[in-house]
Structure 1
Amino acid sequence: MASLNVYSVLVVLFLSCGAVMATKENDQIIKKNNCETKMGLPCVLEAFTTILEAGSISNKCFGELVVLGKVCHSALVKRTLENPIFKDLSATTIIAKSIQTWNNCLALIDSPSPST
């Protein structure tokens, strides 16, 4: 029975260390790529409102999101999900919405504009 308790403690420690390492990894990616300086605040708010709640992103912000890059986009979303404020949100749903938002931006940027 004691070995079960030791095993449980080890599992908790392992998971805790993994969460701390994930946070540090996201912070390193964000810092290394200057992610927080690549998008204007209005577009950041627009993108996160779309991902965390509902709504749509303007063409201007689609462009800024693509310039931000997928690595930064993913790291910022993951770091946001680590914030206790968002603990009640489904990480799986939010990550899926962030991927969908990213793909929508790419599709819009890659599609030819209609001629006038």
Structure 2
Amino acid sequence: MASLNVYSALVVLFLTCAAPMATKENDQIIKENNSETKMGLPYVLEAFTSLFETGSISNECCGELVGLGKVCHSALVKRTLENPLVKDLCPATIIAKSIQKWNNCLALIDSPSPSA
């Protein structure tokens, strides 16, 4: 239950533009692409849990993630890694996981569904 509170706090920080430690480049990408409003909160929580803790991403969340776009996804992950709340995490590991999740979702969304 405590981890849900931590991840809820991360999501709130993720959704706010007021992160003073965020790089200008990531903030600009996020703002120009309306990145913070493209995914529903339940999918943001699911994606963040899978990146910063453990777990998989549902097909629906993959659709939302791919709809967000790779540029937005990367900028949001990088900006979140600049937050002091995640300072103990290895950025290289999180970025590698985010790329893997992105590629898995893209492959899932791009693959034709079996005929009925």
What is the TM-score when the length of structure 2 is the normalising length? 0.80
3-state DSSP of counterpart to 1:115: coil
Structure whose CA Rg is larger: 1
Structure 1 residues not aligned, in runs of 5+:
1-19
More helix by share: 1
Shift of 1:60: 0.8
Alignment length (residue pairs): 97
Over the matched positions of the two proteins, sequence identity in percent amounts to 81
Distance 1:40 1:75 in 2: 17
The CA deviation string for residues 18-76 of structure 1, in whole angstroms up to 9 with x for no partner, is: xx896111111100100001000000110011011110111111001001000000000
Distance 2:22 2:43 in 1: 26
| Higher RCO by CA contacts (8 Å cutoff, separation 6 or greater) | 2
Which residue is equivalent to 1:48?
Answer: 48
Distance 1:115 1:106 in 2: 20
Which residue is equivalent to 1:35?
Answer: 35
Task: Give every structure 1 segment of 4 or more consecutive aligned residues whose post-TM-superposition deviation is greater than 4 Å.
Answer: none
Is contact 2:29–2:72 with CA below 8 Å preserved after alignment?
yes
Distance 1:114 1:56 in 2: 22
Structure 2 residues not aligned, in runs of 5+:
1-19
- Alpha carbon RMSD of aligned pairs, Å? 1.5
Q: Map 1:1-116; keep pairs closer than 5 Å.
A: 23-116=23-116
